[in-house]
Amino acid sequence: MTEETAGPQIDVALPDGQRVRAQLTEKTQARDGAWWFRLELSLCEQTELPTGKTTGDPWAVEFLAPADKVHPLQGVDYSHAPVTRHELHRCGSS
């Protein structure tokens, strides 16, 4: 995701208890009705230059988080984030 197309930042609680800010790329409703957020987190990756020097370049990691682990930031507009809804499974339907 480029800076021009980056989604809004959102707060997410990771399984180990850390809280980080990630880029929201999509909100998805699963077939069971649960909401999930597709997020992107920028980490560092070691890159070796032709000179032998190493640098820490950005490395984007995409992941999904359940809605109860994602928290909006005050003053941030999330209305333009893409939304995907899957057909919900209903009791008694085939």
User: 8-36, pLDDT tens digit by residue?
Assistant: 999 999 999 999 999 999 999 998 999 99
| Dihedral angle sign, alpha carbons of residues 78, 80, 81, 86 | positive
pLDDT of residue 41: 95
Q: Is residue 45 part of a domain?
A: yes
Q: Please indicate, yes or no, if residue 92 is contained in any of the structural domains.
A: no
Interatomic CA distance for residues 87 and 27, integer angstroms = 15
Residue 76 lies in a domain: yes
Please state whether 84 falls in left (phi above 0), alpha (psi between -120 and 50) or beta. Answer: beta
For residue 6, is pLDDT > 80?
no
| pLDDT at res. 2 | 45
In a domain, 53, yes or no: yes
Within a domain: 4: no
The backbone region for 75, taken as left when phi is positive above 0, alpha when psi lies in -120 to 50, beta otherwise, is left
Q: 32 is in which domain, residue-wise?
A: 9-85
In a domain, 1, yes or no: no
Q: How confident is the model at residue 88 (pLDDT cuts 50, 70, 90)?
A: low
With respect to residue 52, please indicate whether it lies within any of the assigned structural domains.
yes
Evaluate if residue 49 carries a pLDDT over 90.
yes
The pLDDT of residue 5 is 60
Share of the chain above pLDDT 90, in %: 79
Total structural domains in the chain?
1
**Using one digit for the tens of pLDDT, what is the confidence trace for 59-69?**
999 999 999 99
Residue 17 is assigned to a structural domain of this protein? yes
